Chains A and B, each alone.
Chain A
Amino acid sequence: MINHSNTISTSERSNNERQYAAIYASRRRHMVITFSLGLIILFYYIFFFYFNGLTPEQMFQGLDKLGQYFARMFIWRNVSQWPFGYYFTQIAVTLGIVFAGTFTATLLALPLSFLASRRVMNTFILASISVVIRRLFDIMRGIDMAIWGMIFIRAVGMGPLAGVMAIFIQDTGLLGKLYAESHDAVDKRPSRGLSALGANHLQKHRFGIFTQSFPQFLALTLYQIESNTRSAAVLGFVGAGGIGLVYAENMRLWNWDVVMFITLVLVLLVMIMDKASELLRKKYIIGEDIPLFNQPIQHIEK
């Protein structure tokens, strides 16, 4: 565009040359990293299939069998004799487990998430506490819900209580971590404004951080309830109560039609929950416009 080269000094020119070199190096690095990542992903797949001795035939035969099971799912026999009361009670028990577990986890995870947030815990001592809390979350989250279920069955016996505790422990770890991340990601300016007007730490975190991360908080919690409804079926497999037991029994007895029926009911439930959470999200996350600017403009200008 405009050439300044005859007006700038030698030192400035050498500085610019260093800059060009840095810019080109940065672009080269970007290229190299992108292509290397692509290659690594490709090699990983090749290695995975080769190492585990997987063959295409295995996959095709599997698909064939899956097709047979799938066909059975659509032929429903003796529907009038199915114990619907039992099925629906177990579904209700599952929902009960999910709500109790997730709700309790939310109550504990929220305060803990502030203690885990790097934004909140910003001095050396506080930061070390937050590290401990975060490692605690890791442990809670690092063990799968079904494994927690098996552990709690040994402790409190078979049944829904083990299920609730399994969901509670796993979700406290998961939600605590995700809440803390959403606290860390909010805009810093509101907090700066609040400290400038003399708010104390708790007040600052309440309005500078939590008011802003609230939509994230709500969205994560609602999603987790929905997700747990799906995965709670596995808890029943290990004996921690709920619909999973019905699943396990009927798969063993080759009653694929019953499996299909329960699956459909669960999918329907998840859809209803999704709709409900959408309504909540609309109300609390998006917010409604206040019709301030609908008044005629002349009126304001006078």
Chain B
Amino acid sequence: MQSEKLLSIVNLDKSYGNHHPVIKKLSMDLYAGELVAIIGRSGAGKSTLLHMINGTISTTGGDIIAFPDSDTPQKAHLLKGKALRHWRSQCGMIFQDFCLVPRLDVITNVLLGRLSDTGTLRSLFKFFPKKDVERAIELLEWTGLINQALQRAENLSGGQSQRVAIARALMQTPRILLADEPVASLDPKNTHRVMEALQEISAQNIAVMVNLHSIEQVKQYCSRVVGIASGEIIYNGSPDGLTEDIQQRIYANPAS
């Protein structure tokens, strides 16, 4: 028996205005405990895909079904208001440029991950329950940033910032973690630390979906890889099956 299916994408379409479609009839599933890489050239629709799952970009067709194996599957792309915020809290997101709040200290940045589960009035005064603070400390220790806990986020390096962003996403206790080019602006050492962290997270039965640019990283860290070209899936399977020929097709120039 395979592990739980957390997300099912069926015939997803996206186009902006009357321009070319960005995503065409894309279908794929996401299972608990996987580390799935999404690869493709710039503009292939990788980021758009992640943002549509999280609901920050609207879809133009098809379905994104959250927790299809559970008793209450939901159409994630139709959610609004409170239900949408709840879905987003279950589906963490990290970005290439971190998106931390620069003037807040690191531990508060991590605690912000609990916003959707904290009462509004409390949260506006930055009062978080003790168990959340304990959890944040635990996560900071795990990411090796405990000594920076009371520093402002703006004083961190790129690699440190990304680790804080990961801690913040884990603070949400997500079932799914979406990472939009998390290592694109990092050096090799920090890349290794971040990718290793993502691997450990997927081992906690969380589905991790990550946009990557390097085939090497895909082969080294990921359990599955999805290659997208011009909004369509070219390859979906084990990284070992990613032959030269398939890579050629994924990264081919669409105009030629």
Contacts and interface: CB of A to CB of B under 8 A. Distances in A.
Interface of A: 1-2, 4, 15-16, 19-20, 22-24, 26-27, 30-31, 34, 297-298, 301-302
A1 B254 contact: no
Interface of B: 20, 43, 105, 107, 125-128, 133, 137-139, 141-142, 146-147, 149-150, 170, 200, 204, 253-255
Given A1-B170, A16-B141, A30-B126, A302 B150 contact: no
Contacts of A27: 128, 133
A16 B146 contact: yes
Given A30-B126, A298-B255, A301-B255, A2 B146 contact: no
Contact of A4 (B126, B139, B142, B254): B142
Contacts of B127: 31, 34
A289 to B, nearest CB: 15
Contacts of A26: 105, 107, 150
Contact of B150 (A22, A31, A298): A22
Nearest to A24: B133
Given A1-B170, A30-B126, A297-B43, A23 B137 contact: yes
**Which 5 A-B pairs have CB atoms at the shortest separation, nearest pair first?**
A298-B255, A1-B142, A19-B146, A23-B149, A2-B142
Nearest to A20: B137
Given A4-B142, A19-B149, 14 more contacts: A1-B139, A1-B142, A2-B142, A4-B141, A16-B141, A16-B146, A20-B137, A23-B133, A23-B137, A23-B150, A26-B107, A27-B128, A298-B254, A301-B253
Contacts of A297: 20, 43
Nearest to A31: B127
21 contacts: A1-B138, A1-B139, A1-B142, A1-B170, A4-B141, A4-B142, A15-B147, A16-B146, A19-B147, A19-B149, A20-B137, A22-B150, A23-B107, A23-B133, A23-B149, A24-B133, A26-B105, A30-B126, A297-B20, A298-B255, A301-B255
Contacts of B253: 301
A298 to B, nearest CB: 4
Nearest to A16: B146
Contacts of A34: 125, 127
A2, A24, A30, A34 — which one has the most chain B CB atoms within 10 A of its CB? A2
A23 B145 CA distance: 12
Nearest to A299: B255
A13 to B, nearest CB: 11
B217 to A, nearest CB: 21
A141 to B, nearest CB: 27
A210 B132 CA distance: 44
A2 to B, nearest CB: 5
Given A24-B133, A30-B126, A297-B43, A302 B255 contact: yes
Contacts of B107: 23, 26
A275 to B, nearest CB: 31
A38 to B, nearest CB: 9
